[in-house]
Homo-oligomer: A and B are copies of this chain.
Amino acid sequence: MPDFTAEAALALTRYRSETLQYAPRLGLLDLREWICEFLAEEGIKASPAEIIVVNGAKHGLDLACKLFLNDGDCVAVTAPTYFTGIPIFRSHGLSFLQVPQDAEGISIDFLHREIKLRRRNGQPIPKMIYDIPDFHNPTGITMSPDRRRQLVAFANQFDVVIVEDSPYRKIRFGGPTFPPLKALDDSGRVVYLGTFAKLLAPGLRIGWVVSTAESVARIAQLKSDGGSCPLTQRIVFEYCSAGKLSQHLDRVSVEYHKHRDIMVAELREKLPQASFRVPDGGYYLWIGLPGIVDADRFAEAATAKGVEIISGTRFYADRNIAYPENRIPGSDHIRLAFSFASPTQIKDGIGRLAEIFHQPH
């Protein structure tokens, strides 16, 4: 965890009249300008008027749904998808189109087939596609460059909004870097969600949305909180603009890289039945277990033994989806996080999971 004491002292003295008053509705201009530079390194061209600071990426997702969708609309999500997003979509009364992924990312072929089918049957086609192209949560998949271009082309063809959620892109251990969807977008239909939660600390509750200036202005109207907290914005800006973020990310990436390698080695040794991809970054391993295991029960048993894992079933937007052997979707998968646990905790945790697995079930 980074040390923000110097930044907080500065924020509460030199910038006191800024940090204790209402912030500008789009967020502090200094911070939005810094975000523009940060995004420019990724090939995303955005001006401060195209960025609004929000209380974390989830808040940005909620606002994007509020702006672009209506009750009864359909959103396309990967199967599996980021589980915290699911209740947000539900709270907007959306239905789901669950789209499979392969090693290159979300299946555009499936999307095309499904759209054709839905049009023929007079069913609604998705108005939004939500995805995490870099180090996907939970699968760890990074979308290939071709797939990225196909996805943006698909969205253009069928007039769909893409929400690109990008919390993990900078937590990279290796592998090639591909342009964000937003960098491939000429039409303004990609809405980009960024956050300092995974870059610095979840507790700061500072994220941002990149969209057109017009959409950003409308999101500002829908944002009922009178501007995000200027104190934490100032702390983040002072930290980042002093060059400390890149040092922090270097440290964190080296550390999490080690954690990933330890978790992978432990799994291969103690639980060789587990199947998984080794992701080039992010926080998670998405583990397939032989179909004899019920992931919900497995996760309960792990929790009882003090190991925090999440059952794969929680990552499916709903159960109306074909799944091998007619099982409940995700019931043969679990998600493990290698990020926050220490090497000792990781070794100990995998050991306990192996014990549970080898008990009669």
Contact = CB atoms under 8 A, between A and B. Distances in A.
A225 B59 contact: yes
Given A20-B1, A21-B202, A55 B9 contact: no
Interface string A35-78: 00000000000000000000110110110001000010000000
Contacts of A225: 55-56, 58-59, 62, 205
A231 interface: yes
Interface residues of A, number: 47
Main secondary structure of the interface of A (DSSP, over half): helix
B232 A229 contact: yes
Contact of A91 (B87, B224, B232): B224
Contact of A231 (B21, B22, B61, B232): B232
A203 B5 contact: no
Contact of A226 (B8, B56, B222): B56
A36 B245 CA distance: 39
A84 interface: yes
A207 B11 CA distance: 21
A201 B21 contact: yes
A3 to B, nearest CB: 7
A19 interface: yes
Interface in A1-31: 1-5, 8-9, 11-13, 16-23
Contacts of A339: none
A249 interface: no
A12 B8 contact: yes
A273 interface: no
Contacts of A229: 55, 203-205, 229, 232
A292 B226 CA distance: 34
Nearest to A23: B203
Contacts of A12: 3-5, 8
A322 to B, nearest CB: 29
Contact of A9 (B8, B20, B23): B8
A166 interface: no
A204 B1 contact: no
Contact of A5 (B13, B18, B84, B91): B13
A246 interface: no
Contact of A202 (B20, B200, B204, B232): B20
Which 4 pairs show the lowest CB-CB distances between chains A and B? A20-B201, A62-B224, A8-B8, A20-B203
24 contacts: A1-B16, A1-B20, A3-B12, A5-B8, A5-B12, A8-B8, A8-B11, A20-B202, A20-B203, A21-B202, A22-B202, A22-B203, A23-B203, A55-B55, A55-B225, A58-B225, A59-B224, A59-B225, A62-B224, A66-B91, A87-B221, A203-B230, A204-B231, A229-B229
